[in-house]
Amino acid sequence: MSETPRFTPIGRGKIAAIATTLEMRAPAPPRPVPAGLDGEVVSLEGISADEYLDLFRRVGQDYLWLTRLFMARETLEAQLASAETQVFGERVGGRLEGLLEFDWRGGAGDCEIKYFGVTAARQATGAARRLMNHAIAHAFASGATRLWLHTNTMDHPRALAFYARSGFTAVGQEVEINDDPRLAGLLPRDAAPHVPIFE
């Protein structure tokens, strides 16, 4: 049996992470949310590409969320308009502070949480817990038999533990390599300082 190489080179302008796939096959019980938590979870059906990208950046910039940034505008608009995409947000005082996106393209009860997160100001408030409670309840009420997602080592350091507490089980890991959005001018160069730039 061949031994897996300990080190794998990546090219300049790339970023690499370990991606973990987690899944849930039946709805986990909702986790308690602090009494009096402000804001609400709302449907973002019909959200414009500009509104979506603003929220996407504010939630994901610190963790180098990137796929939607590299996507052509027409492709993103088509994705948002697709019946197989559902987008929800956390709204607080008229401003969106959290993003939850479902991808139902897997078919046969397969539902991926494509993006999930809240802005830095909403972390450690219970907002993410409420948003995840909504994600689980909505997905399974809509016919999901498998709810799954990816997180990676560029994500919030407590993300993996949060998903485990929410009822997800890790089922696989992969090395994920992408173009660095900071070098493409899609995010500020000082975004995600915990991830080195290699140029």
Q: What is the CATH number of the domain that holds 145?
A: 3.40.630.30
* Backbone Cα Rg of the chain: 17
- pLDDT tens digits for the chain (199 residues)? 678 888 989 999 999 999 999 999 999 999 999 999 999 999 999 999 999 999 999 999 999 999 999 999 999 999 999 999 999 999 999 999 999 999 999 999 999 999 999 999 999 999 999 999 999 999 999 999 999 999 999 999 999 999 999 999 999 999 999 999 999 999 999 999 999 999 9
The whole domain housing 67 covers 16-25+41-179
Kindly state whether residue 118 falls inside one of the protein's structural domains.
yes
Kindly state whether residue 32 falls inside one of the protein's structural domains.
no
Kindly state whether residue 36 falls inside one of the protein's structural domains.
no
Kindly state whether residue 107 falls inside one of the protein's structural domains.
yes
Greatest extent of the chain over all pairs of C-alpha atoms, in Å: 58
Q: How many domains does one find in the chain?
A: 1
Kindly state whether residue 193 falls inside one of the protein's structural domains.
no
Kindly state whether residue 198 falls inside one of the protein's structural domains.
no
- State the pTM of this model: 0.95
Kindly state whether residue 30 falls inside one of the protein's structural domains.
no
Structure tokens belonging to residue 199: 């140029």
Kindly state whether residue 20 falls inside one of the protein's structural domains.
yes
Phi and psi angles of residue 67, each rounded to the nearest 5 degrees, phi first: -60, -40
